[in-house]
A and B are shown apart, each in its own frame.
Chain A
Amino acid sequence: MRTGSKLQVDPIACDGRGLCAEILPELITLDDWGFPIIRDRVVPDRLHEEARETVRICPKLALRLEGPH
């Protein structure tokens, strides 16, 4: 059961490369300076795999998926 996983960004580690918003536009948009805004921190089940991929691909390792997996 993985319902309720939360996607979180470490704002110190993040330097706004923006890959996350390309991979997961359903949950992540960019602000006017190119830094990710996570629209809905609770990841719906259908996006769980994409969320994991996004966490893996962040070049700054600034994303984390927390909670039940």
Chain B
Amino acid sequence: MRAHDDLRHQPSQAGQAAQATPQRPDHLPRLLPTGFAAGPARLAEHCARYGTPRSSSLDRRRREALIEEVERSGLTGRGGAGFPTARKLAAVAAQRSPVVVANGTEGEPASAKDKVLLARSPHLVLDGAVLAAEMVGASQAVIVVHHSVREIVDDAVAERRRAGFDRVRTRVVTAADRFVAGEASAVVHWIEDGLPTPTRKPPRLAERGLGGKPTLVQNVETLAHLALIARYGASWFRAVGTAEEPGSMLVTILGAVREPCVHEVAIGTPVQEVLALAGGASAPHQALLLGGYFGTWVDAAAAASLPFSSAGLATLGASVGAGLIAALPGDACGLAETARVVRYLADESAGQCGPCLFGLDAIAGEFLRLAEGGTSDLGMLRRWLGQVDGRGACSHPDGTVRLIRSALAAFRPELEQHAQGWCRATGTACILPVPPRRQR
């Protein structure tokens, strides 16, 4: 069973039921429906909560004003890289006949936040995709979604068509179920040629992407925030979060917590409060994986009181990444957990760049020997990490190297024990989900 099948959105008690007169949502969650109703928010409920989006072809001045508003909001990409959204919008808006791609691929097995968002609030994402298209002057938006939510998104698109809602053409595409498939150029490659692999840069997608056209690729959560900024403005958006990293974000919380879930939190909420939203620890925590599989292992006690923001976590060399916290219980082996994930990441190399294809495979083998207490060469491993870092067409090798380096630092005491052939872990449960190994 996939781990995210377990993950449910936990509605906030603070939210109000949809009201007849739409009001600005003053409380979190902003993006996810409030109350306990199951299933996706229908178009009528969506409009009752947020109001009907103004869908009109925007004139140049209105477009520029909206991009400025997004800039004032400080919204950054919620797919992991955290790039300023307004800058991407402006770069594509300056080009002729662009296309918009809403990226809901979420190929990372541990992350569920984009799937939960699309399953609960498909119309908010569609509002954002259509709005982004209008803002950059695109006539088409392609919505790429994980197969588990495809039907929900199809239904939402059909509902909007019946209501004559959007002036922009929307097309839904099922994402490739691969880890690298979510990288922006891989998403475009997948839509165009059915190949979920990154492509060389240059050209940048903002110049030449889908069908040779300038292409804006934005994560689906980013687009949902965009839809609300257009309605309520930058100041509203900035009312939560920190001055440097304003707004809220969806977080997937898994591992040794009572109720693994996806929650929307204000950026900067202390890590221990985020964990409390998942019912708190189900066993004492030794370490947390922050950001995702390209993220960083940190000591659980050191991270507990830090703000969940990239600035707050920087002291531990971590960042919020794609909004993920995985809690490692005290009886698990962090090296063994990491070794499984590294093997998976090596297998998920697109196989296009030599250092990634051969280097990650060698690294995964060496790291596994180390985790299993076999004869391993830590010096060789570090040498290889240095050799593959930054050597791919995408950041797949870099992200994997980051994870391993953080594991070597966070589980340093265990390294010596493992070298002597023993491990203090007594638990056998796997914390980080990894799909079954495919035939290569």
Contacts and interface: CB of A to CB of B under 8 A. Distances in A.
Contact of B200 (A12, A32, A37): A12
The residue in A10, A11, A15, A16 that gathers the most chain B C-beta atoms within 10 A of its C-beta is: A11
Contacts of A32: 359, 362, 383-384, 387
A32 B200 CA distance: 23
Contact of A10 (B200, B356, B358, B359): B200
Interface stretch (B264-272, B347-355, B399-407, B421-429): B347-355
Contacts of A16: 354
A31 B355 contact: yes
B349 to A, nearest CB: 12
Interface in A14-69: 14-16, 31-35, 37
A34 B199 CA distance: 22
A13 B356 CA distance: 13
A12 B353 contact: yes
Contacts of B392: 11
A34 B384 contact: no
Contacts of A35: 354-355, 358, 391
A33 B354 contact: yes
- Interface bracket on B: 10 to 19
B200 A13 contact: yes
Contacts of B359: 31-33
B352 A37 contact: no
Nearest to A9: B391
Q: Is the interface of B mostly helix, strand, loop or mixed?
A: helix
A18 to B, nearest CB: 11
A12 B199 CA distance: 8
A12 B355 CA distance: 10
A15 B354 contact: yes
B391 A12 contact: no
Given A10-B200, A11-B352, A14-B354, A31 B387 contact: yes
Contact of A31 (B199, B352, B391, B393): B391
A16 B355 CA distance: 9
A35 B390 CA distance: 13
Contact of A11 (B353, B362, B387): B353
A37 to B, nearest CB: 7
The residue in B200, B354, B384 that gathers the most chain A C-beta atoms within 10 A of its C-beta is: B354
B391 A37 contact: yes
B358 A11 contact: no
A64 B352 CA distance: 18
Interface in B192-216: 199-200
B352 A12 contact: yes
Given A32-B362, A33-B355, A11 B384 contact: no
- 5 A-B pairs with the lowest CB-CB distances in the bound complex, closest first: A11-B353, A35-B354, A33-B358, A31-B387, A12-B352
Interface of B: 199-200, 352-356, 358-359, 362, 383-384, 387-388, 391-393
27 contacts: A10-B200, A11-B354, A11-B355, A11-B391, A11-B392, A11-B393, A12-B199, A12-B200, A12-B352, A12-B393, A14-B353, A14-B354, A31-B387, A31-B388, A31-B391, A32-B359, A32-B383, A32-B384, A33-B355, A33-B358, A33-B359, A33-B362, A35-B355, A35-B358, A35-B391, A37-B387, A37-B391
Interface of A: 10-16, 31-35, 37
